Amino acid sequence: MRRPATRQTMTLLLAGGLLLAAVQQQWLLTRPPRLLELKASGASSGPAALDLRFSRPMQRRSLEQASRLQPALAHQWLGETNPLRLLLSSGQRLRGPLALLLQGQDLRHQGLARQLWHWDPRPRLLAVVPRGQGEQLQLLGHDNRWRTLSPVLPRILTVQPLGDGSGVALVSGGDDGADPANQDVWLLPLDQRNLSRTALAEPRPGRLQRLNRERLIFAHLSSNRRGDLLIQASSRSAPRGSTQLRQRDGRTRTLPLKASGPMQLLPEGGALVMPELEGLSLRSLPGGPERRQILPGSRDLSSFCPVSGRALLVRHWPDFRRSLELVEPGQSPRQLWLGSAAVLGSACDRGGERVWLLLSEWQGQQRSELLALDRRGRVLQRRTLRGWQVEPGAPLLFDPTGQQLLISLRPDSPNRGSVLPPQPVLIDATSLELRPIPMPSRLALWLPAS
């Protein structure tokens, strides 16, 4: 007599569960869509981009028509329904922060709650500044104020901003020539707020952390847009060197790779470029499908372009000439320049549509020249850096948000025998006009916004 009752109870419970699920589904369908995630996109063919993820598929056309960007910069929406990307059109200069008024409808014509976001994708300037008997890392904020990031160290040999803007890695060393093992690798976390519904803020430094247990003889650093940090180092206990990958989440992995020179992580992550005896090789990182591609010849990696897979290489020829090459996926390297001058640096916009090349040659004294090239190698502009000397080891860096280049230059002294300190110099990417920043600095770099 109990079995029918039990079956009836189970039937009622099952029907109740189905009814509850149907009610919940209808309730969820009547709820307005929500913005689940909004973050800056590192991979972009324009000055900057935002990635948006919603709780349900959206009408892209509705977002295009209802949303507003101030200042009203040219932009486009990419994607189908969810996720979507807001991409600023190339060739524009950002003079200040942006305001994004976000609104639109989903596929069921439910309206997204109106939201106002503040966004500043412009990088900030990092500089190694002399202080007393040592050096210090400082940052120039968007308010044109200099801020101290690190304590005074005997000497800052290398500065590597993490590609996602979450911190800066340093290599410091003393001047003790009697002990070559005197280098340390440091990580300085940074708290940035460049995308917020409230107010934006200048980066705040965290606690400086030493990453090595044993003093080092040599250290080389590289990072990608994910915020991973590659550390090549040698010490007394490992004179042949070791390679470690410190991931964004803090996990550290030792890589069984040996190179004939400095390795560089690909900006988009997942692989690295390393010099070998046969040439330059592209190697996948552990954890993904094993991949090795090699480009034969005597070549050095000069710089990466913003668009994934594009880079500039310097090739060394047997007659002591050098050439600049643009490499793209699935294509042979394209020669953009060939000559006898020394290549001090290079930079490129988007996929190499515009390339800047910094050259130096001796004509009684050092003469430095900056060329602007198109992707076919035609010289669009040139400027001789009269009155300036390029600081040794200073990279040439491009900021697509401001359409400007950054380099550390040392002004010629009017008094023979005296030496003036180097300083950061901004160069307009279109006119090649120089704008020096009055701050003694041996090295200047961009800190990416995050």
What is the tens place of the pLDDT at every residue in 214-247? Answer: 999 999 999 999 999 999 999 999 888 999 999 9
The SS3 of residue 176 is coil
Which pLDDT score is estimated for 100?
A: 98
Q: Are residues 169 and 225 in the same domain?
A: yes
pLDDT of residue 190: 98
pLDDT for 28 equals 53
Nearest to 378 by CA among 414, 415, 328, 334: 334
Residue 74 has pLDDT above 50, yes or no: yes
pLDDT at 151 over 90: yes
Same domain, 113 and 158: no
pLDDT in tens, 399-442: 999 999 999 999 998 887 678 999 999 999 999 999 999 999 99
Residue 287 predicted with pLDDT over 90: no
172, 290: one domain: yes
Per-residue confidence at 19, pLDDT binned at 50, 70, 90? low
Buried b / exposed e along 214-233 (16+ C-beta atoms within 10 A):
eebbbbbbbbbbbbbbbbbb
Query: According to the model, what pLDDT value does residue 12 have?
Result: 66
Tens-place pLDDT, residues 297-320 = 999 999 999 998 999 999 999 999
Dihedral sign from CA coordinates of 129, 205, 345, 154: positive
pLDDT at 16: 59
- The whole domain housing 224 covers 153-192+200-297
Of 126-130, 178-182, 416-420, which gets the smallest average pLDDT? 178-182
Residues 48 and 114 in one domain: yes
Considering the domain architecture, whether residues 157 and 291 belong to the same structural domain is answered as: yes
pLDDT at 176: 58
Q: Is 236 exposed, middle or buried (0-12, 13-18, 19+ CB in 10 A)?
A: exposed
CA–CA gap between residue 163 and residue 346 (Å, rounded): 19
Residue 68 lies in a domain: yes
Question: Predicted confidence band at 23 (pLDDT cuts at 50, 70, 90)?
Answer: very low
pLDDT band at 31 (very low <50, low <70, confident <90, very high): confident
What pLDDT is recorded for position 419? 86
Q: Is the pLDDT of residue 133 over 70?
A: yes
On whether residue 387 sits in a domain, the answer given is no
Does a structural domain hold residue 443? no
Indicate if 158 and 263 belong to the same structural domain: yes
Is the pLDDT at 175 greater than 70, yes or no? no
Asked if residue 262 and residue 181 are part of one domain, the reply reads: yes
Q: Decide which of 119, 143, 178 is a domain's last residue.
A: 119
In a domain, 419, yes or no: no
Specify if 403 maps to a domain. no
Domain count, the chain: 2
Number of helices followed by number of strands (H, E) in the chain: 2, 38
Cα dihedral 388, 392, 394, 396 in deg (nearest 10)? 60
Residues 174 and 88 grouped into a single domain: no
Of 268, 297, 326, at which residue does a domain stop?
297
Residue 94 lies in a domain: yes
Give pLDDT, residue 1. Answer: 44
* Mean pLDDT along residues 86-97: 94
User: What average pLDDT does the segment 122-134 reach?
Assistant: 96
- 54 with 100, same domain: the answer is yes
Does pLDDT of 4 surpass 60? Answer: no
Q: What is the DSSP letter of 240?
A: T
Query: Do 209 and 92 lie in a common domain?
Result: no
281 part of a folded domain: yes
Give the end of a domain, one of 297, 332, 364. 297
Q: Which amino acid appears at position 241 of this protein? A: G
Does pLDDT of 450 surpass 90? Answer: no
| Span 354-370, average pLDDT | 89
Same structural domain for residues 221 and 100?
no
Does residue 30 have a pLDDT over 80? no
- Cα separation, 290 vs 281, whole angstroms: 13
**Nearest-angstrom CA–CA distance, 305 and 400:** 11
One domain, residues 161 and 293? yes
Residue 322: inside a domain, yes or no? no
Residue 400 pLDDT: 95
pLDDT score of 17 more than 70: no
Domain containing residue 88: CATH number: 2.60.40
Average pLDDT over the chain, rounded to an integer? 92
Mean pLDDT, range 374-384, rounded to an integer: 97
pLDDT of residue 25: 57
Residue with tokens 């020394």: 342
Alpha-carbon distance of 154 to 152, in angstroms, equals 7
179-185-190 Cα angle (round to 5): 150
Furthest C-alpha separation in the chain: 113
Distance of CA 18 to the CA centre of its chain: 51
